[in-house]
Structure 1
Amino acid sequence: SAVFHFKGRTAHAGGDPHNGRSALDAAELMNVGANYLREHVTSDVRIHYSYKETGTAPNIVPDRAGVWYYVRAMTRDAVEDTYNRLVKVAQGAALMTETELDVEFLGGCYNTMPNEVLSRQCCDLMEAIGAPVWTKEEIEFAEALNKTCPQYEECADKGYLDDGPLHTKLNGLSKTDSFGSTDVGDVEHIVPCTMICTATYNIAASGHSWQVTACAGSSIGFKGMLFGARVMAAAAVELIDRPELLEAAKKEFDEKMKGRRYICPIPDGLAAPQPAAAK
C-alpha cells in the first residue's frame, strides 16, 4: 500500500498553460501505465487505486496530485515484483510530465500460510462446540438485511439461502484461496498459526458493507465472536494437553518455510499512519 504524490507547477490553464507542469497529468499517466501492466502480471495479482488529490479548479494547472495504490497477490514475492514495476511506471509518468515524484509507503503484509494441523484441530473443535443457534428475531433481522443486498437474488438462485438467512452449518476446511488481505499472514510466517471464520452477518452481505456493520453491533455478531473465542480457547488448552499435536504443527511450519525467514515488508523507521482528526 503506497500513495504516489506528484508535484508540478501551477499556471493559468487558458492564458499560461505552457508554463504549467500538471501533477494530475502525471497521476493519470501513471494509471494508464498501471492498466497496461495488468496484462503482464500473474493472474492472481490485483492492482487497486483511488485518487487522494486532484487539483482545485479546471482552469488552473494542478501542481499537486496523489493516487493511492494497493497491490495484492498470492505470494509476497509477486507483490514485491509488481510493486517495484509500479514504482517504475510512476517514475516514467513523472519523467513524461516534468513533475516530481514522492512515494509514501503505507504498509504491507504477507500472504496467508495456514497450518493444516491447527486448521483441522480448530475444525474438529468447532464441530464439538457446535454452531450458534439463532433466535427468531435474529433470523428475521438477517432476512430483512438480505433483501437490501445487491446479491440477494443471486444468492437465492444459487441456493445459498435454502437453510435460512444465516449460516447454521459448519463448512469445514476452505478449499479456495482468499483475495483479502490480513496481517495474520505475517504471523503465519513466524509461528504455526491458523485462522477461523465464524458467522457474524447475513449471508448475502458484502464485506465492508453497512449490512455487516449492522450485524456486528447486534446479537448476531456477538454470538459469532463468542463462538470464535471458545474455539480459540479450547485449541490453546488442547495444545498444552497434547504436546505431540504442537510438535506436528511445528514440523509442518518448518516444512513450509523450507529454510526461509520472515522479512518484515515495512521499512525500518517508518512511522505508523496517524488517524485522521475527528470532524
Structure 2
Amino acid sequence: MAAALPAWAGKDDIAKSVAGLADESWEMAKNIWEYAEPGYLESKSSKLIADRLEKAGFKVSRGVAGIPTAFTATFGEGKPLVAILGEYDALPELSQEALPVRQPRKEGNGYGQACGHHLFGVGSMAAAMALAGEIKAGRAKGTVRYYGCPAEEGGAAKAFMVRAGLFSDVDVALHWHPGSRNSVGDPSCLARVAVRFRFHGTAAHAAGSPERGRSALDGLLLAIHAVELMREHTPTGTRLHHTILSGGGAANVVPEFAEGFFYVRHPKSEVVRELYPRLLKCAQAGALATETKLEVVNLGGTLELLPNPSLSAVVQANMKKLNKLRYDDEETRFALKLRETIPGKLPPLDDIATVHESYGGTTMGSTDVGDVSWVVPTAGFSAACWAPGTPGHSWQAVACGGTTMGKKGMLLAAETLAASAFDIMTNPEAIQNAKAEFKKRLGEDGYKPLLEKDQKPPLEYRLPARRAAGGE
C-alpha cells in the first residue's frame, strides 16, 4: 500500500518556484534543442545545465564515471537523498525546424531532439532547483542530486555511472520522459545490447580486377541476412534491429570497409545474454564467407526497468493533481496540421488533459534508467510534450519539442517531479514502502549488468569509424 501523502498546501511554493523558472528554463531547452548534440558529445548542453545548477548553489562534479559530459549536482545534506535524472542527447538524421511539415534545419549537424531530451534535461533541472528551495527554506530535510546523463540513445551512460558507484548513497530515484500523452505507472521495458560490426576487406577495381578484392560490404550484407534468418528462431518478444552506417563510396570500387549498427532486445536480460552470442556468430559467418576481417565494437547493454508500484503511486497522485494542460489556438492549429502527416487513428487533442495509468506490462523500448532501477527504488512518468499520437524518434517529435507544446509538458513534468520528491522527503513511510517493494522485486540474483568486464564508455560511438591509420 502507498503511504498517505502530506497535505497539498505544503507544495504551493514548489509551483511558484517552477513558474519563476519557466521562461529561463524554456530558453535553455530551446538552446539544447538547437545544439542537438550526439551522445557522449553533448559538451554545450551538459555545460549549460551544470553551470546553471552551480549558480543556484549546487555542488557540481563534472566528468564523472570517466564521461566528460556526465555530471552530478548536489544540494542539501543528510538523508533522505533523492536523485532526479536528466538527459540531453539527440538522434541522427532527424534535424527538423519547429514546423508542422518536414523541413530539416539548414544549420546544425543533422541531429534532432527526436526523443525530447532537451526538455527532459532542463525540466529535471527546474525540479531539482525547486526542491532545493524547499530544503533551503526548511520545509524539507535531506539532499537532492541531479544526474546529468549523456548518451541514453544507445550509449548506456547510466550503466557506467551505476558501475562507478554514483548511486550508492541514493534512497530514491525519479525520472520522466517527454511523450505524446501523460502517463504514470510501473511498466518495465526491453533489456538491450548495442554493437557495431565493422568489416575490413580489400579494395580493387570492381570490373577490371574483382578477383583481387574482398568486399567488406558483402561481409556485412551476409551478416544481416543471417540475422534475418535468426529472427524466426528467437523467443517471443525479441527485437532485432540494424542499420548500415558505411558501405563504400563508389560502385566501381570493391568496398574496403563497411559497418553496421545492431541492437538485440528482449523483456528479460537473461534472454539478451543468450541471444548476443548468436548475433556475434552471424557477423563471424559473414566475415568467414567473404574472407574479410571482423571488428566487434560492443557499445554496452542496459537492463529492463524494475517496477516500483508504491513509488509510482506517489508520482501518480501528484501528476493528477497538477495536470492542467490545454492547447491554445496556435498550438491547436499546429497540432492538427502536423497530425496530417501521421498515419493511423490518432487520439483526440484533448487527450493531454488526461493522466493515463499504465501499471504492469512492458513498453517496447529501452532505457539505461533500467540499470538505475536495479540498484535504487525508481519511478518515472511521461508528460505530453508532443501532439497526441506523435511517435517518438520522428521529425514530428522534434518539431513539437521546439514549440510551446514542449514547454507546457516540460513544466508539468518539473512540478510533478519536485512535488513527488517533496512527498518522499517529508514522508519516511513512502521511502520505507519503496525500499520494501524494491527488495521484494530484486530477488536473490540482484543486479547483473549487461556491460562486459572492464568495458569503457564508448565515447566515440556516434563518430565515423577510423577506416585506416591517420584517416577517417
Query: Fold conserved (TM > 0.5)?
Result: yes
What is residue 278 of structure 2 aligned with on the other side?
A: 85
Structure 1 residue 276 displacement after superposition: 4.8
The 5-angstrom pairing of residues 105-116 of structure 1 reads 105-116=298-309
Between stretches 180-189 and 55-64, larger displacement belongs to 55-64
Q: 2:263 aligns with which of 67, 70, 92?
A: 70
Any unmatched runs of 5+ in structure 2?
1-193, 465-472
Q: Is the Cα contact below 8 Å between 1:131 and 1:170 reproduced in 2?
A: no
Q: Is the Cα contact below 8 Å between 1:119 and 1:173 reproduced in 2?
A: no
Q: Is the Cα contact below 8 Å between 1:120 and 1:173 reproduced in 2?
A: no
RCO (CA 8 Å, sep 6+): is it higher in 1 or 2?
2
What is residue 185 of structure 1 aligned with on the other side?
A: 370
Q: 2:436 aligns with which of 251, 256, 261?
A: 251
Say whether residues 1:28 and 2:221 are aligned partners.
yes
What is residue 261 of structure 1 aligned with on the other side?
A: 446
Q: Is the Cα contact below 8 Å between 2:303 and 2:370 reproduced in 1?
A: yes
The 5-angstrom pairing of residues 87-106 of structure 1 reads 87-106=280-299
Distance verdict in 2 for CA 1:215–1:41, change over 3 Å: same
* Count of matched residue pairs: 269
What is residue 204 of structure 1 aligned with on the other side?
A: 389
Structure 1 residue 23 displacement after superposition: 1.2
TM-score (norm 1): 0.89
What is residue 148 of structure 1 aligned with on the other side?
A: 341
Q: Deviations over 1:27-70 (max 9, x none)?
A: 11101110011011112111111111112322322221111111
Structure 1 residue 82 displacement after superposition: 1.5
Structure 1 residue 264 displacement after superposition: 3.5
The 5-angstrom pairing of residues 53-68 of structure 1 reads 53-68=246-261
The 1-side partners of 2:246 and 2:398 are apart by 28
SS of the equivalent of 1:194 reads: strand
Q: Is the Cα contact below 8 Å between 1:3 and 1:104 reproduced in 2?
A: yes
What is residue 49 of structure 1 aligned with on the other side?
A: 242
The 1-side partners of 2:429 and 2:457 are apart by 41
Between stretches 58-67 and 223-232, larger displacement belongs to 58-67
Structure 1 residue 269 displacement after superposition: 4.4
Say whether residues 1:213 and 2:398 are aligned partners.
yes
Q: Is the Cα contact below 8 Å between 1:107 and 1:266 reproduced in 2?
A: yes
Q: Is the Cα contact below 8 Å between 1:26 and 1:94 reproduced in 2?
A: yes
Distance verdict in 2 for CA 1:271–1:192, change over 3 Å: closer
The 2-side partners of 1:127 and 1:261 are apart by 33
Amino acid at match of 2:437: E
What is residue 270 of structure 1 aligned with on the other side?
A: 456
SS of the equivalent of 2:261 reads: strand
The 5-angstrom pairing of residues 148-187 of structure 1 reads 148-151=341-344, 154-155=345-346, 160-161=347-348, 164=349, 166-187=351-372
What is residue 239 of structure 1 aligned with on the other side?
A: 424
SS of the equivalent of 1:40 reads: coil
Q: Deviations over 1:208-239 (max 9, x none)?
A: 22222222122211111111111111111111
Q: 1:229 aligns with which of 404, 414, 424?
A: 414
The 2-side partners of 1:21 and 1:130 are apart by 60
Amino acid at match of 1:209: S
Distance verdict in 2 for CA 1:24–1:225, change over 3 Å: same
Q: Is the Cα contact below 8 Å between 2:326 and 2:350 reproduced in 1?
A: no
What is residue 203 of structure 2 aligned with on the other side?
A: 10
The 2-side partners of 1:269 and 1:73 are apart by 22
SS of the equivalent of 2:264 reads: strand
Any unmatched runs of 5+ in structure 1?
none
The 2-side partners of 1:62 and 1:146 are apart by 41
Q: Which structure has the larger Rg over C-alpha atoms?
A: 1
SS of the equivalent of 1:167 reads: helix
Q: Is the Cα contact below 8 Å between 1:109 and 1:181 reproduced in 2?
A: yes
The 2-side partners of 1:16 and 1:7 are apart by 18
SS of the equivalent of 2:319 reads: helix
Amino acid at match of 1:44: G
What is residue 139 of structure 1 aligned with on the other side?
A: 332
The 2-side partners of 1:74 and 1:256 are apart by 15
Amino acid at match of 2:284: Q
SS of the equivalent of 2:381 reads: coil
Amino acid at match of 2:384: A
Seq. identity, %: 35
The 2-side partners of 1:93 and 1:209 are apart by 32
The RMSD of aligned alpha carbons is: 1.9
Distance verdict in 2 for CA 1:203–1:15, change over 3 Å: same
SS of the equivalent of 1:172 reads: strand
Between stretches 87-96 and 172-181, larger displacement belongs to 172-181
Amino acid at match of 1:272: P
Q: Is the Cα contact below 8 Å between 2:206 and 2:251 reproduced in 1?
A: yes
